[in-house]
């Protein structure tokens, strides 16, 4: 693959053409801005952290059914991605009151929302990226109602996936920004996922672990970005596996039969068959992903399933 001419340069990234049709290189910069560009600086190593964290998060989301522009990490601060026709609407999902939301609602900082709040912003530097209602988006023709519904649904699903991901690493995901684009008419998640575009707090100490350290002159910005990457990366050496076990076709399934009878007695006459199985999750350490499936299948053959009367399916995360 050949890196070609510069297509676009923004505040955080440069985008280059390649010799691969439809694919571009995103080069992440160390430069940092805040308050609509009024504050500028350099965070050493930021480009490396943001590229590598985006690579990890996008791959994790893809494994959980979220379609993104991500192809692969090609250097410590560069991603190969699909070129998207970007939709100029930023979607922010808020799990806690912080920043502008705390001020607008009159809530104390870090008040947890009763349920996640979704907000829309016009991606327009000249206007200061103003907040929009759905009617504004329709008036400006920025996205169709169907596109906005789909982006909102994806954003909430991303939240469902990533909140426990970060919690497992001792981090609270307070809020985050997503951007979407079109590739061949299909909506894909684009941009990045890094401390630049979300609020992250240490679950134990409450320490700020995101770009707010730069905004508020809190210091230790480089060290904190590096710590976030370390935590996000720390379980990459381990492999998560899921095993689905179910009775073979034609094999008597007493639990399924009993459940079928109970459902019919409750009035669910449309149910014709019930098969009862089991779901097993495992985490393997010290084994590469390409060997993990083989090892888990061995476990199924020897213990986790009865191959004579049960089928099983293995998925590696």
In tens digits, the chain (317 residues) has pLDDT values of 899 999 999 999 999 999 999 999 999 999 999 887 789 999 999 999 999 999 999 999 999 999 999 999 999 999 999 999 999 999 999 999 999 999 999 999 999 999 999 999 999 999 999 999 999 999 999 999 999 999 999 999 999 999 989 998 999 999 999 999 999 999 999 999 999 999 999 999 999 999 999 999 999 999 999 999 999 997 545 678 889 999 998 898 999 999 999 999 999 999 999 999 999 989 887 777 778 899 999 999 999 999 999 999 998 87
Angle in degrees, CA 8, 146, 191, rounded to 5:
25
Pick the CATH number of 3-233 from 3.40.1390.30, 2.40.30.10, 3.30.470.20, 3.30.565.10: 3.30.470.20
Q: How many CA atoms lie within 13 A of 263 on its CB side?
A: 14
Which residue, 50, 121, 130, 117, is CA-closest to 87? 121
* Overall fold of domain 239-316: Mth169; Chain: A , (3.30.1280)
Q: What are phi and psi of 145, to 5 degrees?
A: -60, -40
Q: Where are the domains of the chain?
A: 3-233, 239-316
CB 1 within 8 A of CB 20: yes
CB 137 within 8 A of CB 88: no
């Amino acid at each position: 693959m050949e890196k070609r001419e510069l297509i676009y340069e923004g505040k955080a990234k440069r985008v280059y053409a390649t010799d691969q049709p439809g694919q571009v290189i995103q080069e992440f910069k160390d430069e940092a801005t805040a308050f609509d560009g009024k504050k500028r600086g350099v965070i050493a190593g930021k480009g490396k952290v943001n590229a590598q964290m985006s690579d990890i998060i996008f791959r994790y989301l893809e494994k959980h059914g979220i379609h993104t522009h991500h192809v692969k990490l090609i250097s410590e601060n560069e991603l190969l991605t699909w070129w998207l026709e970007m939709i100029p609407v930023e979607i922010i999902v808020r799990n806690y009151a912080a920043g502008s939301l705390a001020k607008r609602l009159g809530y104390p900082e870090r008040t947890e929302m009763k349920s996640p709040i979704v907000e829309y912003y016009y991606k327009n530097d000249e206007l200061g990226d103003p907040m929009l209602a759905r009617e504004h988006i329709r008036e400006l023709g920025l996205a169709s109602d169907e596109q906005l519904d789909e982006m909102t649904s994806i954003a909430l699903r991303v939240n469902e996936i990533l909140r426990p991901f970060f919690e497992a690493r001792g981090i609270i995901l307070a809020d985050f920004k997503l951007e979407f684009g079109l590739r061949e008419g299909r909506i894909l998640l684009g941009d990045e996922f890094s401390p630049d575009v979300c609020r992250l707090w240490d679950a134990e100490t409450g320490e700020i672990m995101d770009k707010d350290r730069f905004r508020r002159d809190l210091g230790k910005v480089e060290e904190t970005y590096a710590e976030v990457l370390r935590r996000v990366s720390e379980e990459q050496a381990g492999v998560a596996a899921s095993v689905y076990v179910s009775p073979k076709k034609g094999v008597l399934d007493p639990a399924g039969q009993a459940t079928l009878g109970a459902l019919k007695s409750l009035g669910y006459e449309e149910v014709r068959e019930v098969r009862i199985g089991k779901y097993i999750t495992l985490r393997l350490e010290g084994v590469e992903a390409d060997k993990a499936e083989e090892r888990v299948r061995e476990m199924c053959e020897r213990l986790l399933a009865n191959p004579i009367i049960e089928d099983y399916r293995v998925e590696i995360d």
